[in-house]
Amino acid sequence: MVKVLSGIKGAKKAAPKKPAPPAKKKTYKAEKEFIVINGTKASTALSKAVPAVKVRVSRGKSYDPNVIMRTNTDVVAAFRKFFTANKVEGQEQMAVMYLARGLQVIGIYMHTVGAMTAVMVETKLIMATAMQLAAENIITCHNHPSGNLTPSDADYKVAALLSKQCKLFGIGLQDNLIITKTSSRSYS
């Protein structure tokens, strides 16, 4: 904005301001992302779809990859092997099982390890991992160290948000589980 001074003896017109130089365009370095499974790079076409996420999943160490997850019992058994007995009792944790179309396990991902009574859940990260693994279905599981199988309000809110996001991407949210040392509960 240029102001012109007038009515003052000896006042001169202000010189117009020079336009600001055009902003330099910020350039971003494109890096090829990859999925790491047991220390091995697995190239996929989907790895470029979500370039900010690198994934490390358990593949075949804590479950039989040939078993099809047909029942809740199969799923709970796989998660129990994944969460070792001493982990189930210590802190709240959340893991996600990624499944192929035929319900074969692609991998199990330890999403978060939290405190004694809570765990932070990033649904965007769960969905980004599903996209990178080209999963057709997911099952979430978290533990309650207290032994109480009643889902909290936060459990229901996260399940509802994940359900909406899965529908958006065409991924089936098969179940949400709570496990304790001795029992389990589905709260889908």
The domains found in the chain, sorted by start residue, are 57-186 (3.40.140.10)
d(CA 13, CA 5): 6
Q: Which amino acid is at 8?
A: I
Per-residue pLDDT of the chain (188 residues), as tens digits, is 444 444 555 555 555 666 656 655 444 444 444 455 444 454 444 444 444 455 555 555 555 667 788 888 888 988 888 877 556 577 889 999 999 988 998 888 889 888 878 889 999 999 999 999 999 999 999 998 888 999 999 999 999 999 999 999 999 999 999 998 888 999 87
Average pLDDT, the chain: 76
3-state secondary structure of 154: helix
Instruction: Please tell me the pTM assigned to this model.
Output: 0.67
3-state secondary structure (DSSP) of residue 54: coil
Angle between helices 123-133 and 153-169 (to 10 degrees): 40
CA distance 61 to 84: 12
pLDDT in tens, 24-74: 544 444 444 445 544 445 444 444 444 445 555 555 555 566 778 888 888
